[in-house]
Amino acid sequence: MSYEASPTPIDGVDAPLPETAGSPFAQIMVTISKQEYVQLKWDAQYWQKQHQRALSRETELKGQIERLRAQVRNLRQRVFGRKTEKSTAHSEQHSQPEAKRPRGQQWGSVGHGRVDFSHLPVRVEDHDVSEAERRCPRCGKAATVFPGTEESEVIEIEVQAYRRVIRRKRYRPSCRCEDWPGILTAPGPARLIPKGILGISVWVEILLNKYLYAQPTNRLLRSWTSIGFTPSQGTIIGGLKHLAPLFTPVVAALQAQQLTEGLCHADETSWRVFESIDGKVGHRWYLWVIRSTSAIVYVMAPGRGADVPLAYFSQLLVQTVVVCDRYAAYKKLARLIDLLLAFCWAHVRRDFLTLARSYPDTEAWAMGWVQRIGTLYHLNDVRLAVRDDPARFAEHDRQLRVHLEQMSADRSIQRADARLPPAAHKVLVSLQNHWEGLTVFVDRPEIAMDNNRAESALRNEVLGRKAYYGSGSVWAAHLAGSLFSLLMTLVHCWQINPRLWLTQYLQACAEHGHPPTDLSPFLPWTMSAQRLAALRLGGDSPTAPPPTDIAVDTS
């Protein structure tokens, strides 16, 4: 049996169109066998499949190239681009007009006056007119003293190291009674470290410089050389290791207080610990921060898993709302214990900004969503500003809910649009999946829309990580977490002068030889109002030593 080739297409294969009627091959018939026909049909289908696979690979590679180009654009913007956000033409048209009055203090306007420094200690200097100037240049008669003086002030800072020489008087008994010792000697100074030569003011300066001002210890030691004070770095490290247990009770009290509160913010960042431990690969650790109204607690942990927040929040005494980002560890935490997650709108906003930078074709669409989120922030701020007025609060609350409903509707409609680029579709899917946690603030106005409070609590620590790279050992890492918790709580939650607090607390530790058993005078929520006012930043305390003196005991 033979088959004649025809211009009709074979199944699945597009045959070429016939030549024009005048072509020499138009009327020529070809006879082939069935085996040849089957082989040709199989070959056609095979190459068609190969072509489809090639097209699929090409599409996939093009998508991969576009994603990589988007990453490059995003990284270039982060490293070399402007730090201000790029707005669309629409947002620029609707931006607020420039103020007619220039910014800043203007000539001729009433100022606020000089800052009051009357709380600083005073050193009086008497300046007199010379003997020659006090006599008349013509007759030589001396001038008489005029009542009073003309006074002026100059603010100075004096940084110096000095030696405290403690001379302990001794007495010899004048009787022969057996109850008295041979020689009576006055007690020596209280020391933080037995036989240590460095005074409390030195350790206060070291702790503040490293854990509050994010400066490397080596830099502090180099600065001290200019005032003739050159302690060894080994002495400082050994002293810090000795001081670490003194802060354990205070940090435990901070954690216990925080676990009684119903709202907190949580975040984490990387940290370096340059000590090898069993089961740990590399030097990357993580610094977790939990911030509430009365305390900021930092937890140093080897990993970033859910076990870290679970170990901390499992001790909660009340149901708590945790404001956080969309990290999976927090979601697992919410499944294991009874707490509510409120997700961060700032992270959603960053998703759209990153999309606009990475995929220029979606910039107008993404910036439209940024404008929606900005309006949401504004409506919530207006609502919170009138919380004391129920009628106005109800009206602004209604406007907020209407705007959220419109955002939800737009999200659903745009997500169903097949023309939406995959990257934009992914952002909308994330927005929908986290919508419940993103809208917790609606029914509970006391909850913030974003997690910026936790992120701001990590800024100082990130600066320290860049300055001294992390911690050299595990004990140093945990000491850093303890001092971060203590100092940031004092400064940011209670506005307490950390220098005064540390001086008084370390003095109490030195006098007792261990941390004080009664911590109430040192915990802001248990100390008296009078003591809290005396420790406030900007206040004056007559018991505090000069903050710039560095004492060295030589007794």
Domain boundary among 431, 457, 483: 457
Q: What is the pTM of this model?
A: 0.80
Give domain status of residue 527, yes or no.
no
Q: DSSP 3-state assignment of 423?
A: helix
The answer to whether position 138 is within a domain reads no
Q: Does residue 145 sit within a domain?
A: no
Out of 438, 457, 476, pick the residue that ends a domain. Answer: 457
Q: Contact, 94 vs 87, CB < 8 A?
A: no
- What is the 8-class DSSP label of residue 406? H
Please give the average pLDDT of every successive group of 10 residues along the chain, which has 555 residues. Answer: 44 48 70 88 92 90 81 72 52 52 75 82 90 88 89 90 91 82 85 92 96 95 94 95 97 96 96 92 95 97 94 89 95 93 96 89 93 97 95 96 97 93 94 97 96 95 94 96 98 96 96 94 95 81 41 50
Closest residue by Cα to residue 37 from 78, 77, 73, 4? 4
Q: Is 330 helix (H, G, I), strand (E, B) or coil?
A: helix
> Quick one: CA torsion of 400, 440, 297, 500, rounded to 10 degrees?
30
In angstroms, rounded to a whole number, what is the distance separating the alpha carbons of residues 469 and 482? 18
Q: Does residue 280 belong to any structural domain of this protein?
A: yes
Total structural domains within the chain: 2
- The closest alpha carbon to 355, from 297, 305, 420, 299, belongs to 420
Q: How far apart are CA 528 and CA 534, in angstroms?
A: 10
Instruction: Look at residue 84 in the predicted model and tell me its pLDDT.
Output: 57
Residue 189 lies in a domain: no
What local confidence, expressed as pLDDT, does residue 311 receive? 94
pLDDT of residue 11: 45
Domain range for 314: 255-457
Domain-embedded: residue 422: yes
Quick one: pLDDT at residue 394? 96
Single residue among 440, 457, 474 that ends a domain in this structure? 457
Q: Chain-centre distance of CA 152, in angstroms?
A: 43
| Residue 529 in domain | no
Identify the three-state secondary structure at position 12.
Answer: coil
Could you give the C-alpha distances from 14 to 45, 72, 270, 282, 326, in angstroms and in order? 10, 42, 59, 59, 51
Strand-pair category, 549-553 with 160-164: parallel
**Contact predicate 249/236, CB 8 Å:** no
* 186-216 b/e (C-beta count within 10 Å ≥ 16 → b): eeeebbbeeebebbbbbbbbbbbbbbbebbe
In a domain, 126, yes or no: no
Residues contacting 409, CB < 8 A, separation 6+:
none
Residue 20, Cβ neighbours under 10 Å: how many?
A: 7
